[in-house]
Amino acid sequence: MSVLPTQLGPLKLESPVALAPMAGYTDSPMRRIARRYGAGLVFSEMLSAEGTLRRNRKTLELARFTQEERPIVLQYFVVSPIVAAKVAKILEELEPDGLDLNFGCPVRKIVQNSGGAALLKDIPLLSKIVEASVNATRLPVSAKIRCGWDEHSQNAVEVARAAAEGGASWVTVHARTRSEFRAGSAHWEWIGEVKQKVAIPVIGNGDVKTAEDAIALQKQTGCDAVMVGRSAIGNPFIFREANALFSGSGPLPLPTPRERFQAVNQQMAWMMDLFGEEHAVRRFRKHAIGYLRDLPHSAVIRNRVIRLPNACDVLSILEEYFFSLPDSSASCGSTLGESASSDRDKLTETAQGL
């Protein structure tokens, strides 16, 4: 099977595997690492429309990207068509490759203000927001949705159709309802429904934990691309592994200790450039947890790394640890050692406490 390259509206992607938008994670260094290891498309974390409108320094910092990240899509959440149009114009000035509207955020603060997933309950307004954004920019505009608000209102097909009618170039379906947040298993069958019934390209998202899952999701649903979120944290290798399977060149060996260290070192260096050492080291902790996930006896290393204040010490401990692993053990994933919990939910929960 080969689905390379992939077309999403006007965007031609080298790979059908995208990095998901993840607030607090998908900063420019993580996006660069993902692209370097083969992600076909990356998204910024969601930007506040209000912050963008006020040209708030912090919001615009989140929107900054480097050429190496292209193709990059900037995502925002917004509740009004007029504001959506203004935000689209402002973000267009930054020259990303596309804009994405967030209709999936389940967080109470956002939905109480009628944003994110709340718009799944107001399809006419959602369609107007898409239309206003599309009319305001020459960039492709996409929508990221969920299956519905809850199990009694699973309306992914109607929502995706409304987004298509509003002019969206593609739709990303996170195959859970708002009330499921990120728990439980994703309902991939909804991605297949949308793909069958709606004319625009579809990115499938939810529970792609391995390269094999990416293939399975594409096969099961016929979606045009797949999106990886939590499983790409500290694991940019998933992109090249999935690409190898998609292109038919077979499974790749898992990353060697040297490759793991190179990725860690590079990501930290980019983070230090962007944030300065103190902030970079604090922010890097949650990525370090990802890099150590499922490796033998890594809990003790993780506990040391999340307490260290300077980059040099963090990198030396990780370097020493990775190079202490025999190639084969580092490649065995959760089959060896203590299996530092392959539970991705725990990963983001622990990291959010950092």
Ligand X SMILES: Cc1cc2nc3c(=O)[nH]c(=O)nc-3n(C[C@H](O)[C@H](O)[C@H](O)COP(=O)(O)O)c2cc1C
Catalytic residues, which ones? 105
How many CB atoms are closer than 10 A to CB 67? 7
Task: Provide, rounded to whole angstroms, the least separation between the CB of residue 56 and ligand X.
Answer: 16
CA distance 170 to 341: 35
Backbone dihedral angles phi then psi of residue 275, each to the nearest 5 degrees: -110, -15
Among 86, 178, 230, 240, binds ligand X (CB under 6 A): 230
Nearer Cβ to ligand X (231/315): 231
The tokens describing 269, both together, are 């260096």
Considering only residues 129, 208, 217, 330, which one is a binding residue for ligand X as defined by CB under 6 A? 208
**Residues 105 and 77: beta-carbon distance below 8 Å:** yes
Nearer to ligand X, 42 or 162 (CB): 42
In whole angstroms, the minimum distance from the beta carbon of 175 to ligand X comes to 8
Location of structure tokens 């999403």: 8
C-beta atoms surrounding 152 within 10 Å:
8
- Which of 52, 59, 205, 235 lies at the binding interface for ligand X (CB under 6 A)? 205
CB of 201 or CB of 229, closer to ligand X:
229
Q: Any contact of residue 20 with ligand X (CB under 6 A)? A: yes
Q: How far apart are CB 292 and ligand X at their closest, in Å?
A: 18
Q: What CA–CA distances, in Å, run from 272 to 29, 176, 283, 312?
A: 10, 35, 10, 11
Query: Which residues from 85-114 bind ligand X, rule CB under 6 A?
Result: 102, 104-105
Position 175: which residue type? A
Nearer to ligand X, 31 or 174 (CB): 174
CB of 65 to ligand X, least distance (A): 15
In terms of CB distance, is 104 or 257 closer to ligand X? 104
The stretch among 20-28, 152-160, 161-169, 245-253 that binds ligand X (CB under 6 A) is: 20-28
Q: Which C-beta is closer to ligand X: that of 45 or that of 257? A: 45
Radius of gyration of the chain (CA): 20
Closest listed residue to residue 165, CA positions, set 157, 174, 155, 173? 157
- State in angstroms the smallest separation of the CB of 185 from ligand X: 10
- Asked if 31 touches ligand X (CB under 6 A), the answer is no
**Rounded Cα gap, residues 44 and 204, in angstroms:** 18
Q: Which of 98, 166, 206, 257 binds ligand X (CB under 6 A)?
A: 206
Distance (Å, whole) CA 123 – CA 125: 5
Out of 25, 65, 239, 321, point to the residue binding ligand X (CB under 6 A): 25
Mark 199-212 as b/e (b = at least 16 C-beta within 10 Å).
ebbbbbbbbbebbe
DSSP, collapsed to helix, strand or coil, labels residue 173 as: strand
| Binding-site member from 27, 45, 97, 213 for ligand X (CB under 6 A) | 45
**For residue 343, how many C-alpha atoms fall within 13 Å in the half-sphere facing its CB?**
9
Q: Total residues at the site for ligand X (CB under 6 A)?
A: 24
State the chain's maximal CA–CA distance in angstroms: 58
Q: Segment 133-162, which members bind ligand X (CB under 6 A)?
A: 144
The CB-of-22 to ligand X minimum distance in angstroms stands at 4
Catalog residues that contact ligand X under the rule CB under 6 A: 20-25, 45-46, 75, 102, 104-105, 144, 174, 182, 205-208, 228-231, 348
